[in-house]
């Protein structure tokens, strides 16, 4: 019997003392929390992407509760999450169309040859520092995948052709890749944009033609063929008015270098079949 008493007393004493310390600590150190913060945090994507301006989802939830942010501020969650949060907080939410990342360059390894051989850190920012990169086109996608690594949702993958492919299902429109691209080639587009201009080169036609098979050569053919007069030239690149465009696809068909594409996920990375383009 005495064998039992010693362990029970000693362990009981240790347990009791520690419990007492924890109880006191809990009283002194308790953090008061709004119940809604926890609930909102569960609704949020939880990737801490920072697109809303807050450091993370938790802080965004706190700012929502204190009224500093609107539920639509969560880019990654999109309209659905915003509505749920809105109903939780009793706020009416106005949401726009979901935006998806788009790459404004179609010149991959097949279309645009490198002008130098690059050996070094496989990162677009680092490549740009080496006299503007190894790509012959100084406006084009470098293809080292900084956007793919930056994406918190793994929505971007580099294709064999050295261009980013955006998975619309995974892309939440958080705009992290937009900031990650040193050449500013990532842009957010909603489904209102029907045709994408797949070139960002500001050069004149001849200079573009020399470095890339799919670059816009500023021939203005699209401007002429558009039945809606939705296309105008801005410098050496066409600009399409989304409101006028009726998605007839004539410009995509007529573009000699195939640098206009339909804004559909499966069209963005297709390799050109036009003779002049490759």
Partner 1 sequence: MKLILIFISASLVNNFVFTYFLGICPFVGMSKRVETAISMGMATTFVMTLTGGITWLIETYILDYFGVAYLRYVAYIIVIASLVQFVEMYIRKTSPNLYQTLGIFLPLITTNCAVLGLALFAILRDYNFIESIAYGFGAGVGFTIAITIMAGIREELRFSDVPKAMQGPAITLMVAGLLALAFMGFSGFLTI
Q: How far apart are CA 208 and CA 181, in angstroms?
A: 21
Residues 6+ apart with CB under 8 A from 242: 192, 193, 194, 230
Q: CA nearest 227: which of 256, 249, 198?
A: 249
By the rule CB under 8 A, 31 interacts with partner 1: yes
Q: Where are the beta strands (DSSP E) in 86-163?
A: 100-103, 156-158
Q: Least Å distance between CB 142 and partner 1? A: 15
Q: Least Å distance between CB 182 and partner 1? A: 15
Helices and strands (H and E) in the chain: how many = 10, 8
Q: Least Å distance between CB 25 and partner 1? A: 5
Q: What are phi and psi of 131, to 5 degrees?
A: 40, 45
By the rule CB under 8 A, 56 interacts with partner 1: yes
- Member of 97, 116, 121, 250 binding partner 1 (CB under 8 A): 121
- Member of 47, 73, 93, 123 binding partner 1 (CB under 8 A): 123
Q: Least Å distance between CB 110 and partner 1? A: 22
Specify whether the backbone of 218 is left (phi greater than 0), alpha (psi in -120 to 50) or beta: left
- Member of 15, 53, 96, 235 binding partner 1 (CB under 8 A): 15
By the rule CB under 8 A, 18 interacts with partner 1: yes
> Which residues bind to partner 1, rule: CB under 8 A?
6-7, 9-11, 13-15, 18-19, 21-22, 25-26, 29-31, 55-56, 58, 121-123, 126
């Amino acid at each position: 019997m005495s064998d039992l008493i010693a362990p029970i007393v000693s362990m009981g004493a240790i347990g009791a003392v520690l419990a007492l310390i924890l109880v006191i600590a809990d009283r002194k150190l308790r953090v008061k929390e709004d119940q809604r913060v926890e609930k909102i945090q569960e609704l949020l994507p939880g990737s801490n992407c920072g697109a809303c301006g807050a450091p993370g989802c938790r802080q965004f939830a706190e700012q929502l509760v204190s009224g500093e942010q609107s539920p639509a501020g969560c880019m990654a969650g999109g309209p659905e999450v915003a509505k749920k949060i809105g109903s939780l907080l009793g706020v009416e939410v106005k949401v726009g169309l979901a935006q998806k990342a788009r790459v404004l360059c179609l010149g991959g390894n097949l279309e645009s040859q490198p002008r130098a051989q690059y050996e070094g850190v496989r990162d677009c920012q680092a490549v740009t520092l080496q006299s503007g990169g190894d790509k012959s086109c100084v406006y084009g996608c470098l293809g080292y995948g900084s956007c793919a690594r930056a994406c918190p949702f793994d929505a971007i993958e580099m294709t064999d052709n050295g261009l980013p492919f955006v998975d619309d299902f995974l892309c939440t429109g958080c705009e992290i890749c937009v900031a990650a691209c040193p050449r500013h080639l990532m842009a957010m587009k909603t489904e209102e944009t029907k045709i994408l201009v797949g070139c960002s080169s500001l050069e004149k036609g001849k200079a573009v033609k020399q470095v890339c098979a799919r670059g816009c050569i500023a021939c203005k053919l699209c401007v002429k063929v558009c039945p809606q007069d939705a296309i105008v030239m801005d410098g050496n690149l066409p600009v399409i008015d989304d409101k006028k465009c009726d998605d007839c696809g004539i410009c995509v068909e007529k573009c000699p270098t195939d640098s206009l594409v339909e804004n559909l996920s499966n069209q963005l990375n297709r390799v050109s079949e036009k003779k002049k383009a490759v």
